[in-house]
Amino acid sequence: MVSREKRDLPWRRTSNPYYIWVSEVMLQQTRVDTVIPYYERFIKKFPTLSDLANAKEEDVLKMWEGLGYYSRVKNLQSGVKEVVAEYGSEIPRNRKEISKLKGVGPYTAGAVLSIAFGVPEHAVDGNVMRVFSRLLLIEDDIAIPRNRKIFEEVVMELIDEKDPSSFNQGLMELGATICTPRPRCLLCPVRDFCQAFHEGRQESLPVKSKKTKTKTIPLFAFAIRNPEGKWLMKQRPSTGLLADMWEFPMAENTGVASPEEFLKMNLGMKFEGFESLIQYKHVFSHLVWEVESYLATANDNALSGYRFFSTDEVEALPKAVPVLKIWEELKKKIPKDKKN
């Protein structure tokens, strides 16, 4: 079934463990269709472990721009540096050693080992837990981390030791295309063996407790340009949300002042030509930003921690999706003669 039905994806056309590692990191919490162009650009830019290990972090973040969860790529680069420095550019072929690498969790370790090296190791993610919850009528809550062990043990009992790559990829494919949150049971090749299907419980499994309610934060964002057409930006801290990415001045909207009043009171710069840009929501895994963005011109020097950048320089800086939305709107407004 795997060879006949599997999707033709670029990382399935290679046995290079580095490429498979990159693809698995990109696919975490991200749709396949979104990942494909990022994967192809990333591999072209950093075709070897050494290329990625020696690259500037800013260049690496730029190639990840818009993909989100930026700590993933920072950890990936750190792990690759470890492989180059400590393992002679050879990715470890056993779970104990590969799991020591920065950012390599149980799933990524198992995926790389089984797909690239043919080692019979489990690669259990949400899709795989959903499949086995239904197939074997497992009612343990998959949102509880310790319950992952139950599914890892099931996989190790059933895995095809001669072809663990096809076994694990088949499970991934089944969970991604057929045994989805809303299962397509009539198309399922293992329907006859599915206990949940025979009991009519496929819609109620897996058991997954709800996450805590996400927090919503209203924000002001200000695209500030000086008379030379340069833009005021700063780099976010090296830890925390959107670490090391570049942004326009942003601040929480506490509701005590209009955006123009807020700008005058809090940034201490003289502004003119104040106008509204776009309003949007950006959803993270644990919170929501409700952003109101504005455009203004300032004659003063940059604030402490900020710098003015030309349009081309801003284009080259790594920016997260919330900032990219503003930047794409700004580019529609920038006169061609000021795009320098």
Contact 304, 52 (CB under 8 A): no
Which pair of tokens denotes residue 25? 């990191």
Dihedral sign (CA 193, 195, 196, 200): positive
Q: Give one DSSP letter per residue of 195-247, joined into a string.
A: HHHHTT-TTT-S--PPPPPPEEEEEEEEEEE-TTS-EEEEEPPSSSTTTT-EE
Q: Where are the alpha helices (DSSP H) in the chain?
A: 2-5, 17-27, 32-45, 49-54, 57-64, 71-86, 95-98, 106-117, 126-135, 148-158, 164-177, 195-198, 259-267, 311-316, 321-333
Contact 109, 83 (CB under 8 A): no
Beta bridge partners of 308: 232
Active site residues: 24
| Phi, psi for 326 (deg, rounded to 5) | -70, -45
Q: Where are the alpha helices (DSSP H) in 118-163?
A: 126-135, 148-158
Dihedral sign (CA 116, 177, 209, 201): negative
| Phi, psi for 264 (deg, rounded to 5) | -65, -40
What does the alpha-carbon distance between residue 327 and residue 331 come to, in Å, rounded to a whole number? 6
